[in-house]
Amino acid sequence: MTQHHGGILIIDFGSQYTQLIARRVREAHVYCEIHPPSRSVEWIRQWQPKGIILSGGPNSVYGENVPTAEPALLEMGTPVLGVCYGMQLLAQLSGGKVVRADRREYGRAMVAVKGGKLFAGFGAGEETPVWMSHGDHVDTAPPGYHVTASSSNAPVAAIQHDSKPLYGVQFHPEVAHTPRGGEILHNFLFQVCGCTPDWTPGNFIDGEVERIRALVGSKRVICGLSGGVDSSVAAVLVHRAIGDQLTCIFVDHGLLRLHEREQVEQMFRRNYGIDLRVVDASADFLGDLAGVTDPETKRKRIGHRFIDVFEKEARKVGGDVGFLVQGTLYPDVIESMSPLGGPSVTIKTHHNVGGLPEKLPFKLIEPLRELFKDEVRQVGRELGLPEEMVGRHPFPGPGLAIRILGEVNKHQLDTLRKADHIYIEEIRAAGLYDDIWQAFAVLLPIRSVGVQGDERSYDQVVGLRAVTSRDGMTADWFPFPPEVLARVSNRIANEVDGVNRVVYDVSSKPPATIEWE
């Protein structure tokens, strides 16, 4: 992984908001990485952070076997900001006392600002709303510290060391519920740490292009292209670095949306002149799925077949292939090294069907592994990818197979493709596409009675799903204007044979997942 000395190091104590801290720092154009508490002070010294943020977490600092930090961390001279659990840890390591609060404080609170560097730009005595989430608090400021903010429930809501660059806040500046939290983080990044706002898409691309060229030399590189945002941006970035040493392989498994394959071919061949090999393996995939209704079996069969097809095609590229490009993103990387076996308990993300086998004799190039999804989109724009490509909703690796509940066959696929196409077309026409994280149609294995013309019909049901989300971890259903839903429903019932009923899914995640299967 490229080393960005001089960034911000975030130590993850398991807060659900740790990734949000990272995103806020990066939105300020400062590079940061999230690491587990197990990193030694020696390792941290070598990383040379400009500043360290200790995240929140679900534990009590005085509990048993809870994650902690070495006291030497506070003696390095590097600025430290403790958030919630991070502040309690800072206080405890500095000889302060952390006690269980009489009542757990969760939600909005008003704090009175007393001064200090974190609150530069705030008036003395000014009250500001913040988001609290803690069951413990610091009783009195530790030796050598003074209180810089307090609330009625937490007299010590923020602290600052008298002479060292050590700071703590008992609330979450990174969440939207703390309206001036951005200013507090900016004060830490720029006033206290002296960071430079140089983490930009342009700088990232330049650095990555240089790195890839040096790494690859004269070898050939292959990339599995799915037509999604991540693999497309990764392919175009690598192509910018090494030109025609790159070959992209696009496997058409027959489970794609309408015109998807043509769009990918046109964009990558015509617009970028990339060497693109398209493999039509739809007959094999459909053969594997015949008679299968269980979603897990569908995923497994598609995954195995994908690897076989990809491997065969990769071997045809020639003998000097040394590297394979994957569109791994930073949240996947964080998840695979979560602290202490993972206080941030996460439900495993569905890795794309691009999870390629270990036995392929190639080294991995993962040019996006330091980026969040919104950063990938910014890099795509900077590389000149068209907006309809960069702004695309996520699409699952197994494609429409997991949006047809029940058996997958050509007839069902054609039905769903038409319905889905109408749905997305109407969302775009209403100007709502970019307000939605993901929208798609689902074909249900139920028939219901309807009336079409003067006849009774006995046809299938299409479910519509649209959700808003920041990262796919939690999601709310999207409140469409009723007239948009009415238009979609009328068009699907009139234009798609075999469908006579349309329903809209109003479940949030949790308890429901975004996909139905």
Question: Which is catalytic among the residues 4, 32, 35, 84?
Answer: 84
Q: With contact defined as beta carbons under 8 Å apart, do 304 and 398 qualify?
A: no
Minimum mean pLDDT range among 168-172, 245-249, 270-274, 435-439: 270-274
Which residues, in sequence order, are CB contacts of 214 under 8 Å at separation 6+?
A: none
Gap between the Cα atoms of 417 and 403, Å rounded: 10
CB–CB of 23/204 below 8 Å?
no
Residue 234: which of 362, 117, 375 has the closest Cα?
375
Q: Report the C-alpha gap between 314 and 517 in whole angstroms.
A: 30
DSSP state of 187: I
pLDDT at position 84, please? 94
Catalytic, 172? Answer yes
Of all residues in the chain, the percent with pLDDT exceeding 70 is 92
Q: Which two tokens stand for residue 291?
A: 């008679």
Residue pair 78/51 in contact by the 8 Å Cβ criterion: yes
Three-state DSSP state, 500: strand
| pLDDT at 269 (0 to 100) | 86
pLDDT class of 358 with cuts at 50, 70, 90: low
Alpha carbons 174 and 192: distance in angstroms, whole number: 17
Region 50-67: mean pLDDT is: 92
Which region among 352-361, 433-442, 452-461 has the lowest average model confidence (pLDDT)? 352-361
Length of the chain: 517
Q: Over the stretch 487-498, which tens digit does the pLDDT of each residue have? A: 999 999 999 999
Mean per-residue pLDDT for 433-459? Answer: 85
Torsion of CA 75, 76, 79, 82, to 10 degrees: -50
pLDDT of residue 352: 40
193 is catalytic: no
Q: What is the mean pLDDT of residues 8-26?
A: 93
Cα pseudo-dihedral 229, 231, 232, 235, rounded to 10: 150
Query: Is residue 286 within a helix (H) or strand (E), and if so which, with residue range?
Result: helix 282-289
3-state secondary structure of 434: helix
Q: Band of the pLDDT at 359, cuts 50, 70, 90? A: low
Q: Which of 172, 186, 239, 253 is catalytic?
A: 172
* pLDDT score of 344: 40
Is the model's pLDDT at 351 over the cut of 70? no
Beta strands in 205-362 (DSSP E): 220-225, 246-252, 275-280, 321-325
The rounded distance, in Å, linking the Cα atoms of 19 and 200 is: 18
Average pLDDT value for residue range 402-424: 96
Closest CA to 56 of 140, 138, 169: 169
CA distance 151 to 158: 9
**H/E element, 495:** helix 482-495
Average model confidence (pLDDT) for the chain? 90
> How high is the pLDDT of residue 1?
37
Indicate the range of 37-51, 422-436, 461-475 predicted with least confidence. Answer: 461-475
Q: Which residues pair with 299 in a beta bridge?
A: none
Model confidence at 104, pLDDT cuts 50, 70, 90, reads confident
Higher pLDDT, 353 or 268: 268
pLDDT digits over 165-216, tens only? 999 999 999 998 899 999 999 999 999 999 999 999 999 999 999 999 999 9
Flag whether pLDDT at 5 surpasses 70.
Answer: no
Check: CB of residue 466 under 8 Å from CB of residue 477. Answer: yes
Q: Is 356 exposed, middle or buried (0-12, 13-18, 19+ CB in 10 A)?
A: middle
Half-sphere exposure of 249 (CA within 13 A, CB side): 26
Does residue 174 have an active-site annotation? yes
Q: Which of 33, 105, 174, 517 is catalytic?
A: 174
Look at 167 and 124; give whichever has higher pLDDT.
167
User: Rounded to whole angstroms, how far apart are CA atoms 312 and 266?
Assistant: 24
Structural contact between residues 501 and 492, judged by C-beta atoms closer than 8 angstroms = no
User: In terms of C-beta density within 10 A (0-12 exposed, 13-18 middle, 19 or more buried), how is residue 176 classed?
Assistant: exposed
| Strand, coil or helix: 311 | helix
Neighbours of 185 (CB within 10 A): 25
